Amino acid sequence: MKKLSSIFCMACAMNSSWLLANQWELEQRVEPRYPIEAAKSSQEGCVNVQFFVNSDGVPTYLEVLKSLPKGTFDKAAIKALEQWRYSPTETNTDRVPERMKVSLSFALSPNPDFVYECDAVLTSESENMASFRKSRLSTPIVASDSVVKKQSLERIFTVLTDAEKEHFVKSYSRLELKKGGSNKGDSPISAIDGLTYHQIIRLAGEQSSEIDSLSAKGNDKSMQPSSEQLPIMSFPEFLATWNIEDLSMGMESELFKQISYRQLKTEVLINSDGSAQLLSTCRDVSKEMQAALESQIADWEISSKVQSPEAGRFIYLVPSPKEPGAYVDCDDAWNDKHQQSM
């Protein structure tokens, strides 16, 4: 069996093709493992996957565009691609994320009797990683039937972290149960129809009457999310969306001493016009520290790299002279709410 497995992997390598990136070069390639059930039944096929290479050179937001036979080799392809690593080209000095696609073929011999074609084009979405995610999370879910609902949810799952997925599943499951319990005549599928990711997260704790009201207005663009509903950007996503001209953090030395040993994280709101404001600190701070942070962050100079940027939040570790043994000290509840950090 070990010998047979090595033949399968070798076959995958010889029958794989990939689209080389303009900004990134493939540095580490891991071949997919041939699914044992497919091997037993002599099934061959292919998978075409789109994804972003993030600023660390890691494939993320992986999504199958086309596969033959459908679903047979999807998991094996995704699992292998998650382990690929890229290095930036000489021209990509800023390590700008890039969207690309890869086609992997699964064959049991170097010259298979039948050649599967999985050619596919990238979806018509933003080439900017941060904008891509924001668009997915702000698009209303279509849940008119179970098949369409599953497709809508999968589009959202693609851009979520594992922790975000878990929270999201709990939230929409709660809405469906609440809707089903309050209105017996409605199908639970319709509970999240027309709602966006952010609306579902917020409504999970609301009353069912408010769910009905928001469901009817799911496509109403006049409904602007509160700051709590806006996504928390990773710092690479922040850099991909905004040009940093000045993020200075100047304050009196006595204030710096307050955070030189117990390092401080803050939650910052970046508005669509590039203005910034302090939303919260990860633990209680003095009035003087609060005022200094608010003043400094309000003076930041930021300009957009993309057209029509959306507002978002990110977690900012306040820079300060570090004492020996310095550590980041945040309240547990705050850390549970804010998973990503600078």
| Res. 75: pLDDT tops 70 | yes
At 110-145, the pLDDT tens digits run 776 566 788 899 999 888 998 899 889 888 888 888
At 236-271, the pLDDT tens digits run 888 888 888 777 777 788 888 899 999 999 999 888
Distances in whole angstroms, Cα of residue 232 to Cα of each of 73, 228, 261, 311: 33, 9, 26, 10
Instruction: Tokens 């878990």: give the residue.
Output: 166
**3-state helix/strand/coil string of the chain:** CHHHHHHHHHHHHHCCEECCCCCEEEEECCCCCCCHHHHHCCCCEEEEEEEEECCCCCEEEEEEEEEECCCCCHHHHHHHHCCCEEEECCCCCCCCCEEEEEEEEECCCCCCCCCCCCCCCCCCCCCCHHHHHHHHHHCCCCCCCHHHHHHHHHHHHCCCCHHHHHHHHHHHHHHHHHHHHHCCCCCHHHHHCCCCHHHHHHHCCCCHHHHHHHHHCCCCCCCCCCHHHCCEECHHHHHHHEEEEECCCCCCHHHHHHHCCEECEEEEEECCCCCEEEEEECCCCCHHHHHHHHHHHHCCEEEECCCCCCCEEEEEECCCCCCCCCEECCCHHHHHHCCCCC
Q: How far apart are CA 119 and CA 47, in angstroms?
A: 9
Q: How far apart are CA 156 and CA 196, in angstroms?
A: 10
| Res. 200: pLDDT tops 60 | yes
| Res. 19: pLDDT tops 50 | no
- With vertex at residue 245, the alpha carbon angle to CA 241 and CA 249, rounded to the nearest 5 degrees, is 110
Q: How far apart are CA 30 and CA 277, in angstroms?
A: 43
Q: How far apart are CA 337 and CA 201, in angstroms?
A: 13
Calculate the average pLDDT of the chain: 80
Question: What pLDDT does residue 251 have?
Answer: 79
| Res. 209: pLDDT tops 50 | no
Q: How far apart are CA 7 and CA 31, in angstroms?
A: 12
Between 273 and 225, where is the model more confident? 273
At 49-62, the pLDDT tens digits run 999 999 999 999 99
Share of the chain above pLDDT 70, in %: 79
At 78-109, the pLDDT tens digits run 999 999 999 999 999 989 999 999 999 898 87
Distance of CA 327 to the CA centre of its chain: 27
Question: What pLDDT does residue 214 have?
Answer: 45
Question: What pLDDT does residue 223 have?
Answer: 43
Which of 186-190, 278-282, 297-301 has the lowest average pLDDT? Answer: 186-190
**3-state helix/strand/coil string of 79-141:** HHHCCCEEEECCCCCCCCCEEEEEEEEECCCCCCCCCCCCCCCCCCCCCCHHHHHHHHHHCCC
Question: What pLDDT does residue 227 have?
Answer: 63
Q: How far apart are CA 328 and CA 322, in angstroms?
A: 11
Instruction: Tokens 């710096």: give the residue.
Output: 256
Q: How far apart are CA 274 and CA 257, in angstroms?
A: 30
Q: How far apart are CA 41 and CA 25, in angstroms?
A: 36
Question: What pLDDT does residue 322 have?
Answer: 85
Write phi, then psi, for 267 (nearest 5 degrees). -105, 120
Question: What pLDDT does residue 327 have?
Answer: 92
Share of the chain above pLDDT 90, in %: 29
- CB 316, CB 239: distance < 8 Å: no
